[in-house]
Chains A and B, each alone.
Chain A
């Protein structure tokens, strides 16, 4: 430290004589930065550090605000998601859930968010969808994607563009309700040929835990086939169908209703997971910004003190040179 100061002194002797400019702190710090860079000493000028501190502080404020917003949105939507959880239970009780069912036409419905900054939930959904696609493609089988949400669309378009049947975005423009989701489900059922629909979403277990889940809805023909062949759906024949309609019509209504119920719950759970993931991502981001700010403050103080020391040594050595 002292050697560096002496070395700096040596260079400085020439400077004040040649260019009689008033010594101001900015100039000395900038020139000291240049000198120090020239000498190979690592340091940053205070101006630069101050700019960085300002921007990091702004980032911290913004991420803290985003966390609060996500927390309030989560509170609003969490009660609705919990109320909708009972909706698909009777269907699973009656028809079971068989993700290992072997069908020709699979449709994978991937639910994701439109906005980013929500952690890794969209990537997890896409990974699971790709894995399901791999599981269900073979010589006679094929699988197609129906994508809800911008984020999954961006990821899937890159390598599976030809397999995407439908893309739906801006789902959360209006608050989610059952009517909207049932219209959406109707659209999907009308436009896409399917034997089995696999809905991939993130189930909201708690504010810090989101479980990727895949729910399977079968088409009425497959339900009949499975019922005849026995196994899990074999008991379905014991149920008497009330009403004047034929069994296949009732089954069709039933599977369509099941799809819209499962979709409603899936969309709500995914929205909750998105807000929860955003909360934790913004929280860790503001904590990181705080840490960075602490480190920058230390650097700033050190730089400031070093430049003051330089000033003092210049003045003192100049004065002692004049005396002596």
Chain B
């Protein structure tokens, strides 16, 4: 009985939130109604599994065009670390089309990233990370999600070893025979060239 009451509440909140962008609003994350009902029909004795919706963190609600947030909320996530809900002024990401600057109120977009430097401007601080490709989502409520497979602060990169590896990969590229080897060597060269230019900035 309690479960039915709570599902009633959830469905009401979902209906109420329909005019907001669903996945970036402040409504309480609930479960997928259809799934729950189908599960209960087939397996009444087993509790249904939780879904990621139950574990998502709340996000700021979408704001109308007239009322743009003053700061950008940025989440930088990688498989080994996360750095979330920082309020900053501007972020520059290395998209495949070049360096892209993101300010609060930027239009919603999805962009792929290439290896390069991610710069975060927060008042007068400038923090640089080197990221090795990934994706960046910008939502219309001034929330930017940047997912990278590796994100290291620039200070931790050792210039000498970068030079050595660059020489090594250039050699591999010139001596590569199969397409696969060429592709692998090319990827290595791309990443190291980007690292090199990042360090020299």
Q: Is the CB of A95 within 8 A of B43?
A: no
Q: Is the CB of A261 within 8 A of B51?
A: no
Interface membership of B50, Cβ < 8 A: yes
Q: Is the CB of A93 within 8 A of B110?
A: no
Total interface residues on B, CB under 8 Å, equals 49
Stretch at the interface among A3-11, A19-27, A83-91, A293-301: A83-91
Given contacts A97-B32, A135-B39, A212-B50, A203 and B55 within 8 Å (CB-CB):
yes
B interface footprint on A239-257 (CB within 8 Å = 1, 0 otherwise) = 1111111000010011001
| Separation of A11 and B95 alpha carbons in the complex (Å) | 98
Interface membership of A211, Cβ < 8 A: yes
Residues of A close to B21: CB separation below 8 A:
235
Cβ contact of B57, chosen from A89, A135, A232, A264, cutoff 8 A: A89
Cβ contact of A239, chosen from B57, B81, B109, cutoff 8 A: B109
Q: Is the CB of B97 within 8 A of A244?
A: yes
Within 8 A of A (CB), among B83-137: 84, 95-97, 100, 107-112, 134-135, 137
- Residues of B contacting A: mostly: mixed
Interface membership of A238, Cβ < 8 A: yes
Within 8 A of B (CB), among A185-226: 200, 203, 211-216
Q: Is the CB of A131 within 8 A of B42?
A: yes
Task: Considering the complex, give the chain B residue whose CB is closest to the CB of A182.
Answer: B149
| Separation of A254 and B52 alpha carbons in the complex (Å) | 18
Interface membership of B187, Cβ < 8 A: no
Within 8 A of A (CB), among B49-64: 49-53, 55-57, 59
Q: Is the CB of A178 within 8 A of B149?
A: yes
Interface membership of B75, Cβ < 8 A: yes
A interface footprint on B119-159 (CB within 8 Å = 1, 0 otherwise) = 00000000000000011010110000101010000000000
Q: Is the CB of A97 within 8 A of B80?
A: no
Interface membership of B181, Cβ < 8 A: no
The chain B residues found within 8 Å of chain A, CB to CB, are 21-24, 32-35, 38-39, 42-43, 46-47, 49-53, 55-57, 59, 75, 77-82, 84, 95-97, 100, 107-112, 134-135, 137, 139-140, 145, 147, 149
Within 8 A of B (CB), among A33-55: none
Within 8 A of B (CB), among A127-141: 127-128, 131, 134-135
| Separation of A85 and B82 alpha carbons in the complex (Å) | 8
Q: Is the CB of A264 within 8 A of B32?
A: no
Shortest CB-to-CB span from B191 to chain A, Å, is: 14
Residues of A close to B78: CB separation below 8 A:
87
Q: Is the CB of A215 within 8 A of B52?
A: yes
| Separation of A257 and B56 alpha carbons in the complex (Å) | 18
Residues of B close to A215: CB separation below 8 A:
51-52
Q: Is the CB of B137 within 8 A of A241?
A: no
Shortest CB-to-CB span from A202 to chain B, Å, is: 9
Shortest CB-to-CB span from A211 to chain B, Å, is: 5
B interface footprint on A71-108 (CB within 8 Å = 1, 0 otherwise) = 00000000010011111111111111111100000000
Given contacts A96-B22, A212-B49, A90 and B75 within 8 Å (CB-CB):
yes
